[in-house]
Amino acid sequence: MTTAVATPPRTPTHTAAPAARTVGFADTVRQSLTMAYRGLVKVKHNPEQLFDVVIQPVIFTIMFTYIFGGAISGDVASYLPIIIPGILVQTVITASIVTGTQLREDMDKGVFDRFKSLPIARISPLAGALLADMARYAIATTITFVTGFAMGFRPGGGILGVLGAGVLVMVCAFAISWIFALMGVVMRKASTVQGVSMLVLFPLTFMSNAFVPADTMPGWMQAFVNVNPVSHLVTAVRELVNDGHVGMPVVWSLVGAAVVMAVFAPIAVRAYMRKA
């Protein structure tokens, strides 16, 4: 007679999955700055990337001033306080398009695939690329004002007004660049990103009060110009540069920049994690 020996049931063993690495705020800032340094090194080895922010402010300032100055303000000197803030806003915001195109090019080369596999904050590759472009905005701002000074522009707001206007435009351009970063992530080609971006920005910049007073436009266009966020930014810059005044246009510009970042930065990061 055979006796069967009962074997006690084996308790299944489970291997705990590694916990997701949490990156603190300080590490996120440090990693973003490291990525920004990478972007600056790229510019150092490819200085032609600065062509638009070096040449465009000079050409646009000279061209628009001498074309529209006499017709709008009677003479060039009277037109400079109007056109310099407009050229500044138009140049810096347009320069933010490069963020999306360069991001798309890097993703096509597989660079961001490697970043995605690293134990770093998810936002740092995108934030670093955008922070690096702040150097381009600073160059565009400086050259615009230098060109204006050479043509006889003397800002009534003094050095503080000029610095405040420059910082305001750069902050707003950084916020707007998150929109183009999202476009760079979701679109398939850098040329498509650039084309669509220009299609969006041209009406916003030219259908504003950047170059001519809104009251010279048809009524239907004035309605758009008065609600155009670019018009509010241009007004804020003019008040800072010409009068040194910090009014509600400055406040609304900063609030708008904060809202754009709060909405588009998380969306861009999520899209990047899905597609990078």
Per-residue pLDDT of 131-161, as tens digits, reads 888 888 999 999 999 999 999 899 988 899 9
Q: Is residue 227 part of a domain?
A: yes
Range of the domain at 132: 44-275
Q: Is residue 20 part of a domain?
A: no
Q: Is residue 19 part of a domain?
A: no
pTM for the predicted model, two decimal places? 0.82
Tell which residue, 159, 172, 250, 165, has the closest CA to residue 205: 172
Share in percent of the chain as helix, strand, coil (round to 5): 80, 0, 20
Question: If pLDDT is split at 50, 70 and 90, which confidence band does 128 have?
Answer: confident
Q: Is residue 188 part of a domain?
A: yes
Q: Is residue 18 part of a domain?
A: no
Q: Is residue 34 part of a domain?
A: no
Q: Is residue 262 part of a domain?
A: yes
Number of domains in the chain: 1
Question: If pLDDT is split at 50, 70 and 90, which confidence band does 214 have?
Answer: confident
User: Could you give the maximum distance between any two Cα atoms of the chain, in Å?
Assistant: 120
Q: What torsion do the CA atoms of 133, 96, 211, 169 make, to the nearest 10 degrees?
A: -50
Which residue type does 39 have? Answer: G
Q: Is residue 141 part of a domain?
A: yes
For 9-62, write each residue's pLDDT tens digit.
554 444 443 444 566 778 888 888 888 888 788 777 777 777 778 888 899 899
